[in-house]
């Protein structure tokens, strides 16, 4: 059997269920890995070790009594610090939220626990979960275990760094503008942004979400294999009545035509040669496996990205603008100012028009996806950015913002998307983004598994080595 911290979640769950390995043993090995590696990369910023050992021992006792341990039996996972986990502060990367102690688990945490997963730590996020870089004044900066010169992504940068470094098998992340897909891309991993309403969401420690987050924000998994994405996603998506938006729809939505559209440069955006090569290679691998692939334009992304910005900034203006000033975190203040300027006036007329345009765009995409059930497109127009590039200057922020346009667009449409790691270029991870219709995560993961089987399988990295 491989070294425990490089074993897949699927294999861990099978071994623990079969009593080949105990959950306690698996947990201790990962906690030792955290102790050895985490001080270098700062991916996990809240310690759950005592609770993790107690939960693993309790799981082993249930297994010994003949009870079903669940599909994620003994699998070590991390939870992002913007999600409620009982007895821990939901900081969202903010000093001002350090004393906000959750009294109950959020639905995604409850579901993962019920599935038998063991929470070994809580992962870092940028202040306000606002950036594609992970740094804040309370928890510090997270480094990418593949290459310390580049961002680990954000806002789920701690989750992606933890998975890439073997501190856990699954990282729970959240995504309102690429915050699962980009960290997965930057750390050479796979990451699934589910359909809105797929994974139940609720933080009892905070007021209910405003309309932008209700329509666009989701939880999902980051992992080193597509099998692990599927296993953890199916555990996350279980119904919880605390989320009125949740929809209990079967994971397997039936047969589909193996037809894929390839869009190398959505809306004419600039895309570097390395990303274009990854996209054309992915299309070729799908064609070799029976897919019909045609290069074509996809429906508008830029208009959807503009809606994302308007709704997100409207939420921030009403729910966090005063807190931005109180927190005094320089990087998030700078990024917020740039994003507000891009979103134009956040007023009633603009928000209502954005919501009206949103339904028109969703209609166009649904019609397109009837012909092309799968879209292959960039995660980002560039390879993963240098650390802190977005706050170096207004021009650098504008470049970063533009290159992330495909990530920003899809949340406004509520569509599922999968970032698939395909290898490395210039010592930086590279990958592609797959998009499908609402509640067709099954299709995304089948296509993702085909690409994974073509050759690249993400491995654990010691800092700072490509894996």
Question: Which member of 8, 17, 22, 80 is catalytic?
Answer: 80
Q: Which of 22, 106, 160, 179 is labelled catalytic?
A: 179
- Which of 106, 123, 155, 160 is labelled catalytic? 155
- Positive or negative, the CA dihedral 92, 96, 97, 98 is positive
* 3-state DSSP of the chain: CCCHHHCCHHHHHHHHHCCCCCHHHHHHHHHHHHHHHHHHHCCEEEECHHHHHHHHHHHHHHHHCCCCCCCCCCCEEEEECCCCCCCCECCCCCHHHCCCECCCCCHHHHHHHHCCCEEEEEECCCHHHCCCCCEECCCEECCCCCCCCECCCCCCHHHHHHHHCCCCCEEEEEECCCCCHHHHHHCCCEEEECCCCCCCCCCCCCCCCCHHHHHHCEEEEEECCHHHHHHHHHHHCCCCCCCCCCCCCCCCCCCCCCEEEECCCHHHCCCCHHHHHHHHHHHHHHHHCCCEEEECCCCCCHHHHHHHHHHHHHHHHHHCHHHHHHHCCHHHHHHHHHHHHHHCCCCHHHHHHHHHHHHHHHHHHHHHHHHCCEEEECCCCCCCCECCHHHCCHHHHHHHHHHCHHHHHHHHHCCCEEEEEEEEECCEEEEEEEECCCCCHHHHHHHHHHHHHCCCCCCCCCCCCCC
Query: Residue 296's closest CA among 374, 348, 231?
Result: 374
424 close to 188: Cβ distance less than 8 angstroms: yes
Asked about 360 being catalytic, the answer comes back as no
Tell me the C-alpha distance between 197 and 93, whole Å. Answer: 25
Work out the number of other CB atoms within 10 angstroms of the CB of residue 16.
Answer: 28
- Residue 262 near residue 292, CB atoms below 8 Å: no
Q: Decide if 50 is catalytic.
A: no
Question: Given the structure tokens 């959240």, which residue do they identify?
Answer: 174
- Cα separation of 194 and 172, whole Å? 12
Residue 325 bears catalytic tag: no
Instruction: Give catalytic residues, as residue numbers.
Output: 80, 155, 179
């Amino acid at each position: 059997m491989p070294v425990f911290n490089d074993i897949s979640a699927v294999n861990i769950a099978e071994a623990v269920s079969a009593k080949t390995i105990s959950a306690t043993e698996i947990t201790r090995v990962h906690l030792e890995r955290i102790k050895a590696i985490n001080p270098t990369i700062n991916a996990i910023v809240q310690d759950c070790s005592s609770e993790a050992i107690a939960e693993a021992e309790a799981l082993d006792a249930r297994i010994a009594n003949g009870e079903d341990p669940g599909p994620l039996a003994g699998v070590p996972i991390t939870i992002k610090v913007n999600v409620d986990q009982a007895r821990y502060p939901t900081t969202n990367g903010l000093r001002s939220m350090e004393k906000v102690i959750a009294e109950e688990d959020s639905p995604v945490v409850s579901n993962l626990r019920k599935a038998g997963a063991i929470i070994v730590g809580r992962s870092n996020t940028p202040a306000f979960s606002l950036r594609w870089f992970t740094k804040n004044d309370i928890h510090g900066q997270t480094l990418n275990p593949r290459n310390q010169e580049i961002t680990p992504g954000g806002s789920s940068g701690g989750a992606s760094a933890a998975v890439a470094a073997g501190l856990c098998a699954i990282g729970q992340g959240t995504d309102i503008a690429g915050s699962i897909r980009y960290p997965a891309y930057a750390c050479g991993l796979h990451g699934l942004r589910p359909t809105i309403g797929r994974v139940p969401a609720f933080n009892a420690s905070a007021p209910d979400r405003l309309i932008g987050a209700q329509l666009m924000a989701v939880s999902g998994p980051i992992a080193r294999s597509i099998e692990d994405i599927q296993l953890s996603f199916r555990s996350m998506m279980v119904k919880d009545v605390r989320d009125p938006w949740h929809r209990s729809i079967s994971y397997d939505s039936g047969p589909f035509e193996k037809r894929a559209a390839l869009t190398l440069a959505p809306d004419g955006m600039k895309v570097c040669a390395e990303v274009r090569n990854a996209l054309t290679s992915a299309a070729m691998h799908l064609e070799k496996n029976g897919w019909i692939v045609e290069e074509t334009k996809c429906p508008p992304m830029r208009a959807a990205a503009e809606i994302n910005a308007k709704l997100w900034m409207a939420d921030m203006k009403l729910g966090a603008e005063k807190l931005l000033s109180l927190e005094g975190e320089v990087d998030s203040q700078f990024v917020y100012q740039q994003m507000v300027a891009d979103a134009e006036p956040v007023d009633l007329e603009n928000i209502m028009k954005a919501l009206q345009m949103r339904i028109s765009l969703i209609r166009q995409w649904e019609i397109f996806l009837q012909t092309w059930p799968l879209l292959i497109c960039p995660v980002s127009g560039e390879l993963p950015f240098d650390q802190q590039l977005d706050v170096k200057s207004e021009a650098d922020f504008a470049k970063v913002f533009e290159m992330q346009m495909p990530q920003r667009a899809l949340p406004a449409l509520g569509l599922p998307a999968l970032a698939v790691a395909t290898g490395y270029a210039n010592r930086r991870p590279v990958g592609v983004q797959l998009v499908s219709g609402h509640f067709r995560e099954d299709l995304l993961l089948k296509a993702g598994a085909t690409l994974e089987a073509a050759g690249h399988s993400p491995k654990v990295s010691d800092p700072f080595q490509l894996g």
